[in-house]
Structures are given as C-alpha cells and as structure tokens.
C-alpha cells in the first residue's frame, strides 16, 4: 500500500487526496467516475466473478469507454497478481525467497 500511495503522491502532488484515499477511499474527494473506478478495482480484488455486464454498463454511463475499462481491469488484475506473488515469496518480510 505504501508504494501505491507514494506513486499517487508523486503523480498528483496532492497529499490531502492521498491521505483521504488511505483513510477511507469511499469518502475521498474524487469525481463520481473515479469513485466508480476505485469501487470496480476493489470488486476485482475481492471477487471478480461478481462483475456483470450491467456493472460495465454503469462504468460506461459514467464516461468510461471500453478501452478505459480494459485498462483499469488490466491494471487492477496485474497489481493483484504481483502482490500475491510477492506475498507468497515473502518479499519484504525477510523470511521468504526474496
């Protein structure tokens, strides 16, 4: 989480936004389409099979096109993959392979 927060901090230069998202992303001061993107990423992380075509239509209604939806899906899925790999191998813990 720290590395993600640092990336957001560097990209936005907005410490208050980073703090708000870390505190509770659901109440962070972001536009509705970005809030939907965050919720979508959480859903991919928690249970990707619950995402339906109706959910994708909701994203489209908020201005996301299919390329944007593909990008957010790919990024969320990749971060889930790489984080699980790192966790399984003990990256950062000092007791694993890495």
9 and 39 assigned to the same domain: no
Question: Do 16 and 59 sit in the same domain of this protein?
Answer: no
Residue 41 and residue 5 in contact, taking contact as beta carbons nearer than 8 Å: no
| Same domain, yes or no: 15 and 46 | no
Classify the C-alpha dihedral 10-13-19-25 as positive or negative.
negative
User: What's the pLDDT at 98?
Assistant: 53
What total of structural domains would you count in the chain? 2
Same-domain status, 60 and 44? yes
For the chain, how big is the Rg over CA atoms in Å?
15
24 plus 38 within the same structural domain: no
My answer on whether 98 and 55 are in the same domain is yes
| CATH number, position 41 | 1.20.1290.10
Asked whether residue 55 falls in the same domain as residue 21, the answer is no
Q: What is the DSSP string of 61-78?
A: HTT--HHHHHHHHHHHHH
Whole-angstrom CA distances from 15 to 7, 35, 36, 56 are 11, 18, 21, 31
What is the reported pLDDT for 38? Answer: 94
Same domain for 20 and 52? no
- Shared-domain flag, residues 56 and 98: yes
pLDDT tens, position by position, for the chain (98 residues)?
677 788 889 998 999 999 999 999 999 999 999 999 999 999 999 999 999 999 999 999 999 999 999 999 999 999 999 989 988 998 877 776 75
At 3 the pLDDT is: 72
Show the domain range for 19.
1-29
């Amino acid at each position: 989480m720290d590395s993600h927060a640092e990336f957001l901090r560097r990209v936005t230069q907005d410490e208050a936004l980073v703090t708000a998202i870390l505190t509770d992303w659901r109440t962070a001061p972001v536009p509705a389409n970005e809030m939907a993107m965050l919720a979508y990423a959480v859903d991919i992380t928690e249970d990707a099979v619950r995402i339906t075509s109706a959910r994708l239509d909701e994203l489209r209604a908020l201005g996301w096109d299919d390329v944007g939806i593909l990008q957010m899906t790919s990024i969320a899925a990749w971060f889930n993959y790489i984080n699980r790999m790192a966790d399984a191998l003990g990256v950062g813990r000092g007791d694993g392979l890495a």
